[in-house]
Structure 1
């Protein structure tokens, strides 16, 4: 998995992980990116979103109410966005608006 220039797509990699294991996963993802790889993660876990370089938020809701890009940018800007994900991430990181 550590080939330089590879693209990795992970779908909900935190499912079933203990919180300590999420930190381990984030460290692994950082090492892959630092080695020149691209990592795309489809995830609902706020720790992963807060740790990301770039977030694409689809919505505005789930199922037939979703599917449109409602935000894209760094997590620091997402917590300021008026989206469901932005509100949850803001609560997670304890940021005041």
Structure 2
């Protein structure tokens, strides 16, 4: 199991794509990868999203959505869902 906290922090967009390719190879080889991330490209690329909220800090900490990125975009039930929908052009 690999756990990464904000792995795209400070990366150029091209390097984010390289990171996503590396994570795909890890998953394809049978490894589990858990990523804590705010980068919308990473969220859109994920197999599964757990959105914590509804706010930040003491206003959050509850799972407000769990499912695929497409389901989150379709539901738009959270602030993350609204921003991800705008990012993917839905």
Matches of 2:88 and 2:51, distance apart in 1: 17
Task: Confirm whether residue 85 of structure 1 aligns to residue 76 of structure 2.
Answer: no
Q: Indicate the SS of the match to 1:41.
A: strand
Residue 62 of structure 1 is matched in structure 2 by 56
Please state which structure has a larger fraction of its residues in helix. Answer: 2
- Report Cα offsets for 1:3-44 as digits up to 9, x if no partner: xxxx00000000000000000000000000000000000000
Any unmatched runs of 5+ in structure 2? none
Normalising by structure 2, report the TM-score: 0.97
- Which ranges in structure 1 are unaligned for 5 or more consecutive residues? 1-6
Q: How does 1:14-29 map to 2 (within 5 A)?
A: 14-29=8-23
- Equivalent residues, number: 89
Partner residue, 1:33: 27
Tell me how far 1:80 sits from its aligned partner: 1.9
Kindly report the root-mean-square deviation, in angstroms, between the aligned alpha carbons of the 2 structures: 0.5
